Structure 1
Amino acid sequence: MTTPTVTSSIDSKMHNNIMTAGSRDRPLMLATGRYPQWRSRFLRYIDTRPNGEALRKCILSGPYKPTTVVVQAVSATDDSLAIHEHTTVETPMNMSPANKAHFESEKEAIHMILTGIGDEIYSTVDACQTAQEMWEAIERLQQGESLNIQDVKTNLF
């Protein structure tokens, strides 16, 4: 039988090996009981991506929702007809670069979160529609797990 210290040391080494493997090419895997570290490292990984700011916005604030924009009136010229003032929904073609990056990063953010979790968590977040919903579901699940561990420790001691 191993002592808790030895087991803890082995678990810690295994966790560090898992965290290191592939950390440059993909997000880190969430290990049981390591949510705070995973969250911090995941967000730091996001920040290393070319579109890191947009990915972070998708995860923490939700997807970009196109707004209605006012198209100003343009007088007729010899080459074109007059355009009356009207409203239209924003499209990627008329979004600002920052909003376009945020809008286009949602699918990548979802993929990165799914890559960073195991099968036991996947079933919980599979029904989520946005990266933000997934992020919040994982956080709730992990907080519940840590509360359950704390309850066990409280009842034992």
Structure 2
Amino acid sequence: MSTMAENVIVAGADNRPPMLGKGQYNSWQSRMLLYIRGKENGKELYDSVINGLFQFGTVDVPATPTTPAFTRDIIYEDLIEKEKIREACDIRATNIVLQGLPPDVYTLVNHHIVAKEIWDRVKLIEGTELSLQEQESKLYNEFNRCTSEKGEIIYSYYL
């Protein structure tokens, strides 16, 4: 027989998306996409993150005896049930992605309201971040390819 604490741990295991760790973007990305696909309406959530907002589009309204034919924007009431689910998934996908971000990254992207925009921004932020060791190594490699004046130090070269 299991204890209540074990049940709480098991029950809560799927309640929170994977958290992004420093320098772990690639791993987080694949885990997050698996997490999203495993949720209810996972295909639609995934589509929101990768392809962006559901586009309502337009509809052609045929002519009547009193009005000419015209094209109008589709409104929510025009959507079929499957399209309404997809549209609702846009908001849910944004929430899921935001929940998987640490506070420092969240602060940089929380003004975006579209999951794809957040996803792309996090990719850009994490993709350009180099560890201190990587930066130092890159700096020395670039310095070794350059010539220097006698007595010049690497620090002054990059100022």
Secondary structure of the corresponding residue to residue 88 of structure 1: strand
Tell which structure's C-alpha radius of gyration is larger.
2
Instruction: Say whether 1:66 aligns with 2:50.
Output: no
Instruction: Say whether 1:51 aligns with 2:41.
Output: yes
Normalised by the length of structure 2, the TM-score is: 0.69
Instruction: Confirm or deny: 8 A CA contact 1:66 1:89 kept in the other structure.
Output: yes
The one-letter code sitting in structure 1 at the alignment partner of 2:34 is: R
In structure 1, stretches of 5+ residues that fail to align are 1-19, 76-81
Q: 1:41, 1:119 → 2: CA distance?
A: 19
The one-letter code sitting in structure 2 at the alignment partner of 1:27 is: P
Residues 97-136 of structure 1, C-alpha deviation per residue, up to 9 Å, x if partnerless?
4433222211111111111001110111022231111001
Matching residue within 12, 18, 21 for 1:31 = 21
Range with greater deviation from structure 2 (84-93 or 123-132): 84-93
Secondary structure of the corresponding residue to residue 99 of structure 1: helix
Partner of 1:15: none
Partner of 1:93: 77
Q: 1:105, 1:44 → 2: CA distance?
A: 16
1:147 shift after superposition: 7.0
What is the Cα-based RMSD across aligned positions, in Å?
2.9
Residues 27-69 of structure 1, C-alpha deviation per residue, up to 9 Å, x if partnerless?
1111112111110010001111121111111111110121111
Indicate how the Cα distance of structure 1 residues 124 and 86 shifts in structure 2: closer, same or farther if over 3 A, else same: same
In structure 2, stretches of 5+ residues that fail to align are 1-9, 142-159
Instruction: Say whether 1:125 aligns with 2:109.
Output: yes
The one-letter code sitting in structure 1 at the alignment partner of 2:128 is: G
Instruction: Confirm or deny: 8 A CA contact 1:64 1:103 kept in the other structure.
Output: yes
Runs of 4+ in 1 over 6 A off after TM superposition: none
Secondary structure of the corresponding residue to residue 105 of structure 1: helix
Instruction: Say whether 1:135 aligns with 2:119.
Output: yes
Q: 2:51, 2:131 → 1: CA distance?
A: 25
Partner of 2:151: none
Normalised by the length of structure 1, the TM-score is: 0.70
